[in-house]
Structure 1
Amino acid sequence: MTSATLLHLDSSISPAGSVSRALTGRFAAAWRARHGAAAEHRYRDLAADPVPAIRAAYDALGRRTERKGPLPLEDVATLAESPDETREWALSRPLIEELRTAGTLLLGSPMYNLTVSTGLKAWIERVSFPGAYLDPDTGDRLLRDTRVVVVAVRGGGYGPGTPREHFDFQLPYLRAYFGHLGVAAEHLHVVTAELTRAADVPALNGLEPLAAESLAAAEARLDALAAAV
């Protein structure tokens, strides 16, 4: 892992007018300006170029690997027992290596149907290979120093104290997932922009000032994070 490597993932299905894409783009531009030409910015559009869904062969290879304990990535392929398992690992390993070598993961996550997008969920399932984030020699968590910046965009309001707070299955899921993966709590930064559909959803009409306030706060927080990481 190097701190001067940014892995930037967008998952909005909207190629234009996406608030999450605008916000992650803002962070990425500020991050590149801070780190200079030597920095590496890797980008994936999980909607335009979706990660293939995992199949039964992924599960079979994962279970076999898990029984062996944490392995170097190059050793996992030797456990494949079929062409399908070899293919599943070939699809997974590059994504796992990208995540393992990133100093910062920047994740654009709009809320769809109260949770994350199918594109993001497919990436999560693909990179969540057993033992991939544990040191084979020591068992240490390889992502403990990785910084994760989650840009969570929601058309409505789901913050603490709101009537729909308990409908939020997006942020609790992402917090739990990255914690389970080994990311330290102090390195997980969640930035939210809410009420982004206040102008076009009748039930939210009149909340445009709150939406603008939420967006401005998100932009300021991202600027500060980009300057720090």
Structure 2
Amino acid sequence: MNLFRLDASILPGASTSAEIADAAEAEWAAAHPDGTVTRRHIGTGFFPSDAWTLATTAGFTPEADHSPAQREAVALGVALAEELRGADAAILAVPLYNFGVSQHFKIWTDLVIAGGGPATPLLKDTPTLLVTTLGGGYGPGTPREGWDHSTPYLERILADVWGADLTVVKRELTLAATTPGMEDLKDLAEQARTRALDAARAAGRALAGV
């Protein structure tokens, strides 16, 4: 059994999304002690800035005419796509940054699509957990309701484009403990953390088929 694990936090040592994903992974690993985990830390392991352009333009160029840089970019996209295709289960931990999807996740997605095809269901029926964390509150009735432009995109790519059997665990108010003006939200933030960890453990067991 192979678990694909992606992290997009730029602060891996203090990542709230990684903490939740770790809880899910631990449940999967307990059920599959001989399983393998394929990891991608895209928040700290950056892709070349021109890789997507090169991989995409290669699609409009006869293979025999590809430049060395195009061939390298295409190979990268294919390798990233194959990591998804080979997964029996997947966990993706992707924080919200500046009200939108992580730039690291976006370029990774673009490269996967370049390597695997724009309509290829790379995660078709694969049990998949999306963990996403948000520094503030974005739910109904909050001042920033509708400002979360990340989660809908993540769900669209994972479920609708790649066909994943998707579960979403979202934790809000992750900045309440450290941000002036959010002191009154600390209790709510801790409750949100507890709920997210519990949901992640349950999702990890489901990923493992337990």
TM-score under structure 1 length normalisation: 0.82
The within-5 A match list for 1:41-190 is 41-53=37-49, 54-63=51-60, 78=63, 81-129=66-114, 132=117, 141-184=121-164, 187-190=165-168
Cα separation, 1, equivalents of 2:110 and 2:118 = 14
1:192 to 170, 194, 203: 170
Q: Deviations over 1:33-86 (max 9, x none)?
A: 11121x111112112212333343222223469xxxxxxxxxxxx466222221
Give the direction of change, closer, same or farther, for the CA distance of 1:228–1:17 in structure 2 (3 Å limit): same
1:5 to 2, 7, 20: 2
Cα separation, 1, equivalents of 2:137 and 2:201 = 23
Q: CA RMSD in A?
A: 2.1
Structure 1: which 5+ residue stretches go unaligned? 66-77, 136-140
Structure 2: which 5+ residue stretches go unaligned? none
Cα separation, 1, equivalents of 2:41 and 2:5 = 9
Preserved CA contact (<8 Å) 1:31 1:226: yes
Q: Deviations over 1:165-191 (max 9, x none)?
A: 21010101111122342315xx11110
Cα separation, 1, equivalents of 2:180 and 2:85 = 44
Deviation at 1:142, TM superposition (A): 4.5
Instruction: Please name the residue that 1:74 is paired with.
Output: none
- Identical-pair percentage: 34
- Which letter does structure 2 place at the counterpart of 1:168? D
- Which letter does structure 1 place at the counterpart of 2:81? I
Aligned residue for 1:122, secondary structure, equals helix
Preserved CA contact (<8 Å) 1:50 1:119: yes
Cα separation, 2, equivalents of 1:79 and 1:188 = 39
Deviation at 1:15, TM superposition (A): 2.6
Q: Deviations over 1:4-54 (max 9, x none)?
A: 2111111111132211111111211221111121x1111121122123333
Preserved CA contact (<8 Å) 2:77 2:115: no
Preserved CA contact (<8 Å) 1:92 1:127: yes
Number of residues of Structure 1 aligned to a counterpart in Structure 2: 206
Preserved CA contact (<8 Å) 2:55 2:115: no
Deviation at 1:96, TM superposition (A): 0.8
Matching of residue 211 in structure 1 with residue 185 in structure 2: no
TM-score under structure 2 length normalisation: 0.88
Give the direction of change, closer, same or farther, for the CA distance of 1:109–1:142 in structure 2 (3 Å limit): closer
Preserved CA contact (<8 Å) 1:11 1:108: yes
Q: Deviations over 1:104-152 (max 9, x none)?
A: 22111111101122222221111112753767xxxxx443212221111
